[in-house]
A = this chain, B = another copy of it.
């Protein structure tokens, strides 16, 4: 059905290797010949078969990107940045969703292994041990998880939590709460520690509420506890939780930011669209996507150095926080 290199060779009266060169090393072929081949190829609708090419070159020019849940608004910016950046390097990105299932994740990695030159693991759910084993077959770059011996990109959640707490105490809030994330989350652990330390340093009280589901439901559910705690400043695991919490407070007649200030994490679209607009800790997701691709292509080239890249976070003050009432 589709034209192959041989069809083009035949139709243009040259050997297949000349056709091959026309596409993979054009400068090595006579301009005249090249143009003829190109014309014939165009005419036949010929496209080099990248999979076949990969068989001999060992380079597919594809990279895989694995996420736990594509519908988590945290991921799309990272994915888009990775795709866009990869394209400038003549690479294509295939995204796959593991549905939060480690088994699916492993299977997906195995499948991808031979069809891509490297894999970007974003917030993996697999154990370090399994990841290390799989790593023998394909280069990895890991985002949001520290695994020794692998290029890793971390977003500095601890710093973000600190910024948020300082923002809150700066506004005069003395009684704070943290609506923590799921118990298995590395990120949530980081937040707890950093928030506790920052609160202590400012002489404020901090109660930790949770674990909570990392969703709007989780936020809705924790609202009662927040009210009961008497906190006037709350840091949440992510924007979704913040939005749910604000909704829950609202239903109880508690106004944000008039009565209680709320800070989210991630700076997702949902947060920007919420009313009140969320004050939130922005994660450098796009940068992470770009850098991840660079690291990956680099380790595809040289076999993989283990780098740890930590990206700073940033506090975006919008409407969900305000001064404590005296």
Contacts and interface: CB of A to CB of B under 8 A. Distances in A.
Interface string A84-119: 100100001111110100001000101101110000
Number of copies of this chain that the complex holds: 2
B77 A99 contact: no
Contact of A55 (B52, B76, B95): B52
B2 A137 contact: yes
Interface stretch (A28-36, A167-175, A267-275, A310-318): A267-275
A71 B49 CA distance: 30
A287 to B, nearest CB: 16
Contact of A114 (B51, B96, B136, B244): B51
Interface in A50-92: 50-52, 54-55, 60, 62, 70-71, 73, 76-77, 79-80, 83-84, 87, 92
A250 interface: yes
A70 B62 contact: no
Interface in A246-278: 247, 250, 269-270, 272-275
A199 to B, nearest CB: 28
A47 interface: yes
Contacts of A26: none
A230 interface: no
A87 B104 contact: yes
Contacts of A113: 2, 47
A250 B55 CA distance: 58
B80 A110 contact: no
Nearest to A3: B137
A45 interface: yes
A243 interface: yes
- Give the residue among A1, A80, A104, A114 with the most B Cβ atoms within 10 A: A114
A49 B111 CA distance: 8
A71 B62 contact: no
A80 B52 CA distance: 29
A156 interface: no
A216 B47 contact: no
Given A243-B273, A250-B275, A80 B99 contact: yes
A2 B110 CA distance: 12
- Give the residue among A92, A95, A137 with the most B Cβ atoms within 10 A: A95
Given A71-B77, A269-B216, A50 B95 contact: no
Interface in A140-178: none
Interface in A2-42: 2
A73 B70 contact: no
Contacts of A70: 70, 76, 79-80, 95
A60 B60 CA distance: 14
A54 B111 CA distance: 13
B95 A94 contact: yes
Given A45-B136, A71-B269, A273-B270, A111 B97 contact: no
B47 A114 contact: yes
Contacts of A115: 50-51, 62, 115
6 contacts: A1-B136, A50-B115, A51-B60, A70-B76, A71-B76, A95-B95
